[in-house]
Amino acid sequence: MAVYRLVLMTLLGIAGLALPSAAAAAKEIVAADCGVGGCRCMLSSLTLDQVELLTGEPAPEGAEGMTFVMAFGLMQWSAKSPQEIHGYFGGSGTCPIELFPSASYGPRDGVWEFRTSTPDLSNCPAAAMYAVDPPRTERRTIVWGGRFDPNKYMPTATHYVRWSRMDDSNWRGTLGPVGGAMNTTMRARLVNPKTIRGWTDVIAAADVARRTQCVSAQSDYSAHWLSDD
Protein backbone atom coordinates (compact mmCIF):
# COMPACT_ATOMS: atom_id res chain seq x y z
CA MET A 1 0.00 0.00 0.00
CA ALA A 2 2.88 2.36 0.75
CA VAL A 3 4.28 1.78 -2.76
CA TYR A 4 0.85 2.46 -4.27
CA ARG A 5 0.56 5.71 -2.31
CA LEU A 6 4.01 6.80 -3.47
CA VAL A 7 3.30 5.99 -7.12
CA LEU A 8 -0.03 7.81 -7.04
CA MET A 9 1.48 10.85 -5.36
CA THR A 10 4.32 10.96 -7.88
CA LEU A 11 2.12 10.58 -10.94
CA LEU A 12 -0.31 13.24 -9.75
CA GLY A 13 2.51 15.64 -8.88
CA ILE A 14 1.70 16.01 -5.19
CA ALA A 15 3.55 18.95 -3.69
CA GLY A 16 5.39 19.07 -0.38
CA LEU A 17 3.40 19.82 2.76
CA ALA A 18 3.19 23.17 4.50
CA LEU A 19 0.61 25.16 6.42
CA PRO A 20 -1.74 27.37 4.33
CA SER A 21 -2.41 31.01 5.13
CA ALA A 22 -5.45 32.07 7.16
CA ALA A 23 -7.05 33.68 4.11
CA ALA A 24 -6.62 30.52 2.03
CA ALA A 25 -8.03 28.36 4.82
CA ALA A 26 -11.48 29.91 4.36
CA LYS A 27 -11.52 29.46 0.58
CA GLU A 28 -13.42 26.62 -1.03
CA ILE A 29 -11.33 24.24 -3.09
CA VAL A 30 -11.60 22.45 -6.42
CA ALA A 31 -11.84 18.67 -6.04
CA ALA A 32 -11.69 15.70 -8.40
CA ASP A 33 -13.48 12.49 -7.41
CA CYS A 34 -11.74 9.90 -9.60
CA GLY A 35 -11.90 6.24 -10.50
CA VAL A 36 -11.22 4.01 -13.46
CA GLY A 37 -12.46 5.91 -16.52
CA GLY A 38 -12.07 9.47 -15.33
CA CYS A 39 -13.13 11.98 -12.71
CA ARG A 40 -15.98 14.14 -11.57
CA CYS A 41 -14.65 17.66 -11.05
CA MET A 42 -16.36 19.99 -8.61
CA LEU A 43 -16.15 23.00 -6.35
CA SER A 44 -15.97 21.40 -2.92
CA SER A 45 -17.99 22.59 0.04
CA LEU A 46 -14.91 21.92 2.22
CA THR A 47 -12.46 24.66 3.19
CA LEU A 48 -8.72 24.04 3.52
CA ASP A 49 -9.04 23.83 7.31
CA GLN A 50 -11.72 21.16 6.97
CA VAL A 51 -9.65 19.18 4.47
CA GLU A 52 -6.71 19.21 6.89
CA LEU A 53 -8.92 17.75 9.62
CA LEU A 54 -10.38 15.20 7.20
CA THR A 55 -6.99 13.95 5.99
CA GLY A 56 -5.06 14.47 9.22
CA GLU A 57 -2.32 16.31 7.30
CA PRO A 58 -1.51 19.98 6.64
CA ALA A 59 -2.41 21.32 3.20
CA PRO A 60 0.51 22.12 0.88
CA GLU A 61 1.66 25.65 0.29
CA GLY A 62 -0.36 27.13 -2.56
CA ALA A 63 -3.20 24.64 -2.07
CA GLU A 64 -5.78 27.29 -2.98
CA GLY A 65 -4.57 26.97 -6.58
CA MET A 66 -4.32 23.15 -6.59
CA THR A 67 -6.75 20.26 -7.00
CA PHE A 68 -7.82 17.98 -4.16
CA VAL A 69 -7.90 14.43 -5.58
CA MET A 70 -10.05 11.65 -4.11
CA ALA A 71 -9.33 8.24 -5.64
CA PHE A 72 -9.57 4.64 -4.41
CA GLY A 73 -9.77 5.69 -0.77
CA LEU A 74 -6.84 8.12 -0.99
CA MET A 75 -7.10 11.88 -0.61
CA GLN A 76 -4.18 13.93 -1.90
CA TRP A 77 -3.35 17.34 -3.36
CA SER A 78 -2.13 17.73 -6.95
CA ALA A 79 -0.58 20.66 -8.77
CA LYS A 80 -2.11 19.33 -12.01
CA SER A 81 -5.34 20.76 -13.39
CA PRO A 82 -8.64 18.88 -13.01
CA GLN A 83 -8.57 18.23 -16.77
CA GLU A 84 -5.09 16.67 -16.61
CA ILE A 85 -6.11 14.46 -13.67
CA HIS A 86 -9.30 13.43 -15.48
CA GLY A 87 -7.18 12.33 -18.46
CA TYR A 88 -4.73 10.45 -16.25
CA PHE A 89 -7.56 8.32 -14.87
CA GLY A 90 -8.73 7.49 -18.39
CA GLY A 91 -11.31 10.20 -18.94
CA SER A 92 -11.91 11.78 -22.33
CA GLY A 93 -13.25 15.20 -23.21
CA THR A 94 -13.59 17.95 -20.66
CA CYS A 95 -14.13 17.70 -16.94
CA PRO A 96 -16.45 20.65 -16.21
CA ILE A 97 -16.31 22.09 -12.71
CA GLU A 98 -19.68 21.64 -11.01
CA LEU A 99 -20.91 22.72 -7.63
CA PHE A 100 -20.24 20.07 -5.01
CA PRO A 101 -23.50 18.11 -4.57
CA SER A 102 -25.11 19.43 -1.43
CA ALA A 103 -26.16 16.75 0.97
CA SER A 104 -28.52 19.08 2.82
CA TYR A 105 -31.36 16.96 1.46
CA GLY A 106 -29.72 13.90 2.99
CA PRO A 107 -29.50 10.28 1.87
CA ARG A 108 -32.69 8.46 0.94
CA ASP A 109 -34.53 6.52 3.61
CA GLY A 110 -35.10 2.84 2.90
CA VAL A 111 -33.12 -0.30 2.18
CA TRP A 112 -29.38 0.10 1.66
CA GLU A 113 -26.91 -2.56 0.54
CA PHE A 114 -23.42 -2.40 2.07
CA ARG A 115 -20.46 -4.15 0.46
CA THR A 116 -17.01 -4.52 2.00
CA SER A 117 -13.84 -5.24 0.05
CA THR A 118 -10.82 -7.40 0.78
CA PRO A 119 -8.47 -5.40 3.06
CA ASP A 120 -5.17 -4.25 1.61
CA LEU A 121 -2.57 -6.05 3.73
CA SER A 122 0.37 -5.58 1.39
CA ASN A 123 2.40 -4.19 4.33
CA CYS A 124 1.72 -7.29 6.45
CA PRO A 125 2.91 -10.92 6.34
CA ALA A 126 0.96 -13.18 3.98
CA ALA A 127 -0.37 -15.13 6.98
CA ALA A 128 -2.28 -12.03 8.10
CA MET A 129 -4.83 -12.69 5.37
CA TYR A 130 -6.13 -15.66 7.34
CA ALA A 131 -7.09 -13.40 10.24
CA VAL A 132 -9.43 -11.06 8.34
CA ASP A 133 -13.04 -11.46 7.38
CA PRO A 134 -13.80 -12.09 3.70
CA PRO A 135 -15.75 -9.45 1.74
CA ARG A 136 -19.41 -9.47 2.61
CA THR A 137 -22.69 -7.92 1.53
CA GLU A 138 -25.58 -7.05 3.81
CA ARG A 139 -28.76 -4.99 3.65
CA ARG A 140 -30.12 -2.61 6.24
CA THR A 141 -33.21 -0.45 6.49
CA ILE A 142 -32.18 3.05 7.56
CA VAL A 143 -34.24 6.12 8.44
CA TRP A 144 -31.76 8.98 8.13
CA GLY A 145 -33.96 11.83 9.29
CA GLY A 146 -32.72 14.01 6.44
CA ARG A 147 -29.07 13.98 7.50
CA PHE A 148 -26.11 11.74 6.72
CA ASP A 149 -24.55 10.21 9.85
CA PRO A 150 -22.32 7.08 9.85
CA ASN A 151 -23.56 6.22 13.34
CA LYS A 152 -26.81 5.21 11.66
CA TYR A 153 -25.13 2.13 10.16
CA MET A 154 -22.27 1.67 12.63
CA PRO A 155 -24.19 1.60 15.94
CA THR A 156 -21.85 -0.98 17.53
CA ALA A 157 -18.87 1.32 16.91
CA THR A 158 -20.40 4.37 18.60
CA HIS A 159 -18.50 3.88 21.87
CA TYR A 160 -15.15 3.29 20.17
CA VAL A 161 -15.09 5.64 17.20
CA ARG A 162 -14.99 9.39 17.74
CA TRP A 163 -16.68 10.88 14.70
CA SER A 164 -16.14 14.48 13.58
CA ARG A 165 -18.65 15.98 11.14
CA MET A 166 -16.84 17.93 8.42
CA ASP A 167 -19.87 19.03 6.44
CA ASP A 168 -23.17 17.55 5.23
CA SER A 169 -21.31 14.93 3.18
CA ASN A 170 -18.09 14.08 5.03
CA TRP A 171 -17.26 12.59 8.43
CA ARG A 172 -13.89 11.62 9.90
CA GLY A 173 -13.53 9.15 12.76
CA THR A 174 -10.68 8.03 15.00
CA LEU A 175 -10.61 4.86 17.08
CA GLY A 176 -11.07 5.40 20.80
CA PRO A 177 -10.02 3.43 23.91
CA VAL A 178 -9.22 0.16 22.11
CA GLY A 179 -6.83 1.78 19.67
CA GLY A 180 -3.76 2.33 21.81
CA ALA A 181 -1.58 0.00 19.76
CA MET A 182 -2.78 1.38 16.45
CA ASN A 183 -3.51 4.69 14.78
CA THR A 184 -6.88 4.14 13.11
CA THR A 185 -8.64 6.71 10.94
CA MET A 186 -12.06 6.22 9.38
CA ARG A 187 -13.74 8.29 6.69
CA ALA A 188 -17.34 8.24 5.53
CA ARG A 189 -18.66 10.21 2.56
CA LEU A 190 -22.13 10.68 1.11
CA VAL A 191 -21.40 10.77 -2.62
CA ASN A 192 -25.05 11.41 -3.54
CA PRO A 193 -28.44 10.56 -1.99
CA LYS A 194 -28.08 6.95 -3.16
CA THR A 195 -24.36 6.25 -2.64
CA ILE A 196 -21.99 6.14 0.35
CA ARG A 197 -18.27 5.38 0.40
CA GLY A 198 -16.09 4.68 3.41
CA TRP A 199 -12.45 3.89 4.18
CA THR A 200 -10.43 2.76 7.18
CA ASP A 201 -6.66 3.23 7.51
CA VAL A 202 -4.76 1.43 10.27
CA ILE A 203 -1.11 2.16 11.11
CA ALA A 204 0.47 0.03 13.83
CA ALA A 205 2.52 1.53 16.64
CA ALA A 206 6.27 0.92 16.30
CA ASP A 207 6.43 -1.85 18.91
CA VAL A 208 3.40 -3.63 17.44
CA ALA A 209 4.84 -3.37 13.95
CA ARG A 210 8.10 -4.94 15.13
CA ARG A 211 6.30 -7.85 16.81
CA THR A 212 3.77 -8.58 14.07
CA GLN A 213 5.67 -7.35 11.01
CA CYS A 214 2.37 -5.70 10.05
CA VAL A 215 2.93 -1.99 9.42
CA SER A 216 -0.38 -0.79 8.01
CA ALA A 217 -3.64 -1.89 6.43
CA GLN A 218 -6.50 -0.31 4.56
CA SER A 219 -10.08 -1.36 3.91
CA ASP A 220 -13.06 0.22 2.23
CA TYR A 221 -16.76 -0.26 1.68
CA SER A 222 -19.57 1.15 -0.42
CA ALA A 223 -23.32 1.37 0.09
CA HIS A 224 -26.13 1.86 -2.40
CA TRP A 225 -29.79 2.67 -1.88
CA LEU A 226 -32.07 -0.09 -3.22
CA SER A 227 -35.66 0.74 -2.38
CA ASP A 228 -38.00 2.64 -0.06
CA ASP A 229 -38.70 -0.45 2.03
**For residue 56, what is the enclosing H or E element?**
none
Q: Among residues 80, 99, 118, which one ends one of the domains?
A: 99
116 and 222 part of one domain: yes
Tally of domains in the chain: 2
137 and 194 part of one domain: yes
For residue 104, being part of any structural domain is answered with no
> Under the phi-then-psi rule, with left for phi > 0, alpha for psi from -120 to 50, and beta for the rest, what region is 211?
alpha
Mean pLDDT of the chain: 74
Report pLDDT digits (tens) over 31-55.
888 877 888 888 876 778 878 877 7
Reply yes or no on whether the pLDDT at 66 is more than 70: yes
C-alpha span between 176 and 179 (Å, rounded): 6
Reply yes or no on whether the pLDDT at 17 is more than 70: no
Report pLDDT digits (tens) over 166-187.
777 888 887 754 555 667 778 8
For residue 144, being part of any structural domain is answered with yes
119 and 218 part of one domain: yes
Reply yes or no on whether the pLDDT at 5 is more than 50: no
* Sheet with 38-47, side-by-side order of all strands: 74-78, 67-71, 28-35, 38-47, 98-99
116 and 21 part of one domain: no
Q: Among residues 54, 73, 99, which one ends one of the domains?
A: 99
Is residue 210 very low, low, confident or very high in pLDDT (cuts 50, 70, 90)?
Answer: low
117 and 85 part of one domain: no
* Sheet with 110-116, side-by-side order of all strands: 137-142, 110-116, 216-227, 195-204, 182-192, 170-175, 161-165
Is residue 18 very low, low, confident or very high in pLDDT (cuts 50, 70, 90)?
Answer: very low
Q: Which residues of 8-30 are buried (b: 16+ CB within 10 A; e: fewer)?
A: bbeebbbbeeeebeeebbeeebb
Q: Which residue has the higher pLDDT, 182 or 21?
A: 182
29 and 91 part of one domain: yes
121 and 179 part of one domain: yes
22 and 116 part of one domain: no
For residue 105, being part of any structural domain is answered with no
Using CB atoms within 10 A of its CB, is residue 40 exposed (0-12), middle (13-18) or buried (19+)?
buried
Structural domain span for residue 75: 2-99
Largest CA distance in the chain: 50
CATH code: domain of residue 208: 2.40.128
pLDDT of res. 109: 92
61 and 24 part of one domain: yes
59 and 130 part of one domain: no
Q: Among residues 78, 99, 120, which one ends one of the domains?
A: 99
Report pLDDT digits (tens) over 214-227.
667 778 899 999 98
120 and 209 part of one domain: yes
120 and 87 part of one domain: no
